[in-house]
Amino acid sequence: MTEPVPPAPAAIRAVVEWYAAMGVDAVISEEPNDRFAAPVRKPDPAARSAAAPAPPPAVAAGTPEEAERQAAAVARTAPTLEALRDALAAFEGCNLRLTATNLVFADGTPGSRVMLVGEAPGRDEDIQGLPFVGRSGQLLDRMLAAIGLDRTSVYIANVVPWRPPGNRTPTPQETASCRPFIRRQIELSNPDFLVCLGGAATHELFETSEGILRLRGKWRTYDTGTRTIRAMAMLHPAYLLRQPLHKRLAWRDLMALKAALDGSA
């Protein structure tokens, strides 16, 4: 029987690079592996007689409502955006922090008239620690430039500040544990206009399940906690990369935002 020929190093490297480009950041084995579980240590027979009682088993995570209450108690104590970032970095109520490379808190200028909020960071954002820096971020930069804005004149954040593994959708509990932080972030940034990018961010901040194509382009109000501001949903740049024909809808929404900034709408 002919022995199988192992693949060439160049072929292996090409496969690994393709996995990285596709967002694969973990290898799944045939047996389940709980990466969040504490390592199991074998008991030391010599110290068995003096060993302390075993700690109780870890308590299972609570409901999304409990996660949100826990996060709200932490978020409301932050008096500034800097303090909020520090509180979020130390917050242990969302397990996404254990698998992410960086906390992706914000970019741009706090206090700008326009604040944009997406759903969660992707691979490029996780590496750089900044929101919207990949392909969709580059498109967002061009969209902003079309109406005379750039990253120095807006403030950008995400509902979830840590990248979910493999760019999967955040779970309801993960989102709930981050929701109070983004609401406090909006309150402290205090923009005149809030723009929700994509259906996920829109559903979280507008508390609606209506489709993004129905929600986009319509002005509504958002209570920041200190005042009521104008808010609008727009199509996410990543969606526009997949559906370029819908860029015409995004252009209409950008024109509506520009008119509002100019005071003519």
Q: Is residue 226 assigned to a domain?
A: yes
Q: Is residue 32 assigned to a domain?
A: no
Q: Is residue 55 assigned to a domain?
A: no
| CA-derived radius of gyration, the chain | 22
CATH label of the domain that carries residue 199: 3.40.470.10
The better pLDDT of the pair 5, 262 is held by: 262
**131: which DSSP letter?**
S
For residue 35, the model assigns a pLDDT of 55
Q: Considering its fold, how many domains does the chain have in total?
A: 1
Residue 93 · residue 139 · CB < 8 Å = no
Banded pLDDT at 37 (limits 50, 70, 90): low
- Using one digit for the tens of pLDDT, what is the confidence trace for 181-239? 999 999 999 999 999 999 999 999 999 999 999 999 999 999 999 999 999 999 999 99
Q: Is residue 49 assigned to a domain?
A: no
Domain that holds residue 227: 64-262
Q: Is residue 139 assigned to a domain?
A: yes
Per DSSP bridges, beta strands 107-108 and 228-234 are unpaired
Say whether pLDDT at 45 is over 50. Answer: no
Q: Residue 167 is which amino acid? A: N
What integer best gives the mean pLDDT of the chain?
Answer: 87
Neighbours of 196 (CB within 10 A): 28
Q: Which of 125, 124, 123, 75 is nearest to 105 (CA)?
A: 125
Say whether pLDDT at 152 is over 50. Answer: yes
Banded pLDDT at 1 (limits 50, 70, 90): low
Q: Is residue 3 assigned to a domain?
A: no
pTM, 2 dp: 0.76
Across 58-69, average pLDDT = 69
- Using one digit for the tens of pLDDT, what is the confidence trace for 49-62? 444 444 433 334 46
Banded pLDDT at 22 (limits 50, 70, 90): low
Q: Is residue 99 assigned to a domain?
A: yes
For residue 216, the model assigns a pLDDT of 97
Find the range with the poorest average confidence among 33-37, 138-142, 176-180.
Answer: 33-37
Per DSSP bridges, beta strands 193-197 and 114-118 are parallel
Banded pLDDT at 9 (limits 50, 70, 90): confident
Q: Is residue 125 assigned to a domain?
A: yes
* Rounded Cα gap, residues 62 and 69, in angstroms: 11
Q: Is 160 exposed, middle or buried (0-12, 13-18, 19+ CB in 10 A)?
A: buried
